Amino acid sequence: MESYKTKFRFKDLYRFAGFKFYESYIEEDSILVVLKRTSTTGKCPCCKKRCRYIHSRRQRQVRDLDVAGSKVFVEFTSFQLDCDCGYNGYEELDFCEEYSRQTKRLEERVVILCQMMCIKDVAKEVRLDWKNVKNIDKKNARKYIIDLEQVSPRRIGVDEIAYEKGHKYLTVVRDIELGKVIWVGKDRKKETLDEFFRMLGMEKSWNIEVVVCDMWDPYIASIKANTNAAIIFDKFHIAKAITEAVDNVRKKEFAKADDVERKNMKHKRFLILARQKNLVSEKQEELRQLLDQNKTLFAAYLLKEQALDIFDEVDENKGVKRFEKWFKNVFDAGIEQFNDVVRRIKKYFYGISNYFIYRLTNAQSEGFNTKINVIKRRAYGFRDLEYFKLKILQSCGLKCP
């Protein structure tokens, strides 16, 4: 195989439009690269034309990518223009933004590292101040995130996630069809979701057909006030409430059991709360032996399996009828732990029945919540809430190419 040898020259690393390498100086642990202008005109950032009218000149020194473990600083002369289009300010440069203290390629490196590491570690890696690293990442996030003016959602999911201890939440709105987060707001009040619909606009809000959320009254009130959408309550919240009722039955039965029964019931919580169809044959036999010893626990388990099987029903009318029959079975069983669950399902039944029509859940939102928690843990928490919201949109939202 033929090989090609090329001569590497240090100055080739600093070939920028309108500039050329002039000379370099090596100090203790840094290198100063001096660039010389090759053009007497500057590029206007507004009209993108070359401008010959120079108002003033200034000497700039910016940080570049390290070379061989040494910090590199680039020094050059920048023009302030008086363009015919009316623009008065500094020229547009291909390698550095106006007023920036770093080159674009160094900032790109920082942004890539910030997606994998916390700010403190990135600052240590690139040898910049952590506040500077944060500002670079924040600026980049703002630049590439798409705002609500560019989206027209038809189906949305609304969920909340805790960003700090003490019941402090963020409301996360995602576009179900795009599979992306489109908005993040502070708190989980009615006013929070009202702000989303206000920013989206009245016309787009009334074009929303379906909203998937949990049974949180402030969200429901905002959706009804700002849209004409069908509300679907996430089936996983119903399943959670039912399994919690079964768990409460297990705890009560365990408390009043004798020593032999307690020994058999011990470490069986997973078996009781798991779906029977998801258990292997050995575990199913172990579960059967446990339930045979306690009629109340057996009845609670059957009620759980009946309720969760209803969500597999394809036909809406059959699903509604099966729920009505399940309500009667709960009443006949007389297990008080299920009373609150039944009252809650009846109160929000209009949103539960819509599930059989649209077959939508907030499962994708839960997946986003996992990614958001990873972002939060990686940074050991965020003091700057705006930055945290930008990081969520950067990781889970729509981005400009």
Most confident of 168-172, 269-273, 369-373: 168-172
Higher pLDDT, 279 or 399: 279
How big is the chain, counted in residues? 401
For residue range 286-334, what is the model confidence (pLDDT) as tens digits? 888 888 888 888 899 899 999 999 988 888 889 889 999 999 999 998 9
Least confident of 4-8, 153-157, 239-243: 4-8
Q: Tell me the pLDDT of the chain averaged across its residues.
A: 88
Q: Which residues of 311-328 are buried (b: 16+ CB within 10 A; e: fewer)?
A: bebeeeeebbebbeebee
Q: What is the predicted pLDDT for the residue at 290? A: 81
Compute how many other C-beta atoms are within 10 angstroms of the C-beta atom of residue 129: 10
Among all chains, which residue has been given the structure tokens 């016309």? 203
Range of weakest confidence among 139-153, 217-231, 361-375? 361-375
User: What average pLDDT does range 388-400 have in this prediction?
Assistant: 82
DSSP string, 94-147: SS--TT-SB-HHHHHHHHHHHTTS-HHHHHHHHT--HHHHHHHHHHHHHHHB--
pLDDT at position 5, please? 62
Q: Whole-angstrom Cα distance, residue 374 to residue 376?
A: 5
Per-residue pLDDT band for 400 (boundaries 50, 70, 90) equals low
This prediction has a pTM of 0.78
Quote the pLDDT of residue 1: 47
- % of the chain exceeding 70 in pLDDT: 97
d(CA 215, CA 221): 11
Q: Is the pLDDT of residue 3 over 60?
A: no
Query: Is it the case that residue 169 has pLDDT exceeding 70?
Result: yes
Q: What percent of the chain has pLDDT over 90?
A: 47
Q: Evaluate whether 114 touches 375 at the Cβ level (below 8 Å).
A: no
**Phi, psi dihedral angles at 398 (to 5 degrees):** -75, 140
- Give me the pLDDT at residue 367, please: 77
